[in-house]
Amino acid sequence: MGIQLFAKNVIRLFKFDLKTHHKAMREFKNFPKMIDNLKYELADELKGIRLPKVLNQFESVEAILNSDKSVARFGDGEFNLILGNAIGFQEYDEELSRRLKEILTTKDEGMLIGISRRFGSLDDVDAQVRAYWRGFMADHRAELYTMLDFNKTYIDTCMTAHSIEVEDHLTEECRADTEKYYNLVRQIWDGKNITIIKGEGTEKFENDIYDNAKSVSYIYGPKEHAFRDYQRIFEEAKKLPKDRLIIAVLGPTAKVLAYDLHKLGYRVLDLGHMGKAYHWLKSSEGKIVAGKFFAA
């Protein structure tokens, strides 16, 4: 949104001429009280605004830890596919789009559905991320709202990139928060047998977030356009024992895998960037740029 349009919206929101108001304030010695009243005027204007309920990132991890539910997370990539657009590593596919919308709107109580905690305040992210989400929401909020359940509580999709999008992850406070956060995350698979479904040829990180699992096996899919190979991956995953925790790291296709395998009695966690974020934050000596992280 340009500065001129923003200014017009502010004027429209308060429903008064700012120049006239400023002149009036100068004529009163108690104008601080007038300024204080603006927050109540604004509150009255905002009564009709709805925001989806989304847990913060620590709460999202706790929700996973304290249940046996499967997880499917929706970010801007999945939203774009639902709305008919391709993304960098996944072509648009009508069936994939339909399945993603089905999962986003599911009433299945055994699924934790994640959406980005970016529908309201953006104070917890850096300027680049704020600018991106402001533009994305301006373009797509109305369409997304038709698919969201405002009586539902979602987990935060961005829980898998904790500390990546903040202003400065190098501060002592942020580093302590990050350490606490990932120690909590690692409890999810601590001492368990897990299978990771991921893109073929993707690296196994030196700082391995899964090194506290009892055992780790892998099923590989394509790094790009993974939904083309969905049926083969799904059939291979169905051979796993039901007591094995499955972690899906395969972009939008991971959501469909998590949902379909959950229906068969498996527990599947769509955890996207979690391993990469852990490695980057453990090994980084300089500031991480969110845009570069998500493009890598």
Residues 6+ positions from 159 with CB-CB distance below 8 Å: 57, 60, 61, 73, 114
Q: What is residue 109's predicted lDDT score, i.e. its pLDDT?
A: 97
Strand order from edge to edge, sheet including 268-270: 53-54, 153-156, 111-115, 70-74, 268-270, 245-249, 193-199, 215-221
Does 81 lie in the same domain as 43?
Answer: no
* Alpha-carbon span 43 to 296, nearest angstrom: 42
For residues 291 and 195, state if they share a domain: yes
Q: Which residue has the tokens 């639902």?
A: 82
Q: Are residues 192 and 128 in the same domain?
A: yes
The verdict on 40 and 134 lying in the same domain is no
Do 60 and 14 reside in the same domain of the chain? no
CB-based burial, 105-138: b 16+ in 10 Å, e otherwise: ebeeeebbbbbbbbbeebeebbeebbebbeebbe
Residues 63 and 26 in one domain: no
User: What does DSSP assign to residue 226?
Assistant: G
Residue appearing with tokens 């559905």: 113
- The verdict on 11 and 70 lying in the same domain is no
Instruction: Kindly state whether residues 252 and 132 are assigned to the same domain.
Output: yes
Residues 260 and 117 in one domain: yes
83 and 223: one domain?
A: yes
The domain tally of the chain equals: 2
Please report, in tens digits, the pLDDT of each residue of the chain (296 residues total): 555 555 555 555 555 455 555 555 555 556 666 677 777 887 787 888 899 999 999 999 999 999 999 999 999 999 999 999 999 999 999 999 999 999 999 999 999 999 999 999 998 899 999 999 999 999 999 999 999 999 999 999 999 999 988 888 889 999 999 999 999 999 999 999 999 999 998 777 888 999 999 999 999 999 999 999 999 999 999 999 999 999 999 999 999 999 999 999 999 999 998 999 999 898 877 778 887 787 76
125 and 23 both lie in a single domain: no
Domain that holds residue 197: 53-295
Out of 14, 29, 48, a domain closes at: 48
pLDDT at position 170: 86
Same domain for 78 and 43, yes or no, is: no
Q: Residue 212 — φ and ψ, nearest 5°?
A: -100, 5
